[in-house]
Copies of this chain bind each other. A is one copy, B any other.
């Protein structure tokens, strides 16, 4: 499959590398073609990896991944243009982290709204599925890295077929066995707010290699 990854940070690099390892073709998008990090990433990953603008990556991908910093998500998608987005699934793994007030980060949208909802409202032509934003990027692509994979990943979004497709990807490509569908995209308020606890757990546990398991 041809996949567009928006964002050149650690999350985009890790997901893009994994997708290439699975045999997919990945184009990493950034504000300008020739972005130093994107070029280095593509070179290190090999033939299946390429880079370009956000618009290039969005046009290239049959499936899109939002791996921008939270602030960068909407501008990146705006620069892609509606024709490259229409009808496509966007896997939104970003978080609305605000580092401007110093550590620990807070959220620039929360409580009564979420970044997932903002993206879905701004781009009605996209089918946004919020997921993976509750773990670090190494765990995102390899659930077995923590506790043998015995922990929970959430999905939410307004399009049932898109959620089913992303759930299959989580299970088949990244090893997630416990995938919990929370419902529509407003549930991103819950999974994004979890970051405020995740940050505290990271501080207490001194590692980002953890997750939560929902038990009944």
Contacts and interface: CB of A to CB of B under 8 A. Distances in A.
A153 to B, nearest CB: 13
Nearest to A210: B216
A124 interface: no
A191 B199 CA distance: 11
B191 A197 contact: yes
Contacts of A150: 215
Contacts of A180: 201, 204
Contacts of A106: 111-112
A199 B187 CA distance: 9
B200 A210 contact: no
B147 A196 contact: no
A107 B214 CA distance: 22
B112 A147 contact: no
Interface in A175-216: 180-183, 187, 189-191, 193-194, 196-201, 203-205, 207, 209-216
A207 B151 CA distance: 19
Contacts of A194: 193-194, 196-197
Interface of A: 101, 106-107, 110-112, 146-147, 150-152, 156, 180-183, 187, 189-191, 193-194, 196-201, 203-205, 207, 209-216
22 contacts: A110-B111, A111-B196, A146-B215, A146-B216, A156-B200, A180-B201, A182-B200, A182-B203, A182-B204, A183-B204, A187-B204, A189-B200, A190-B197, A190-B198, A190-B200, A190-B201, A193-B193, A193-B194, A205-B214, A205-B216, A209-B216, A212-B212
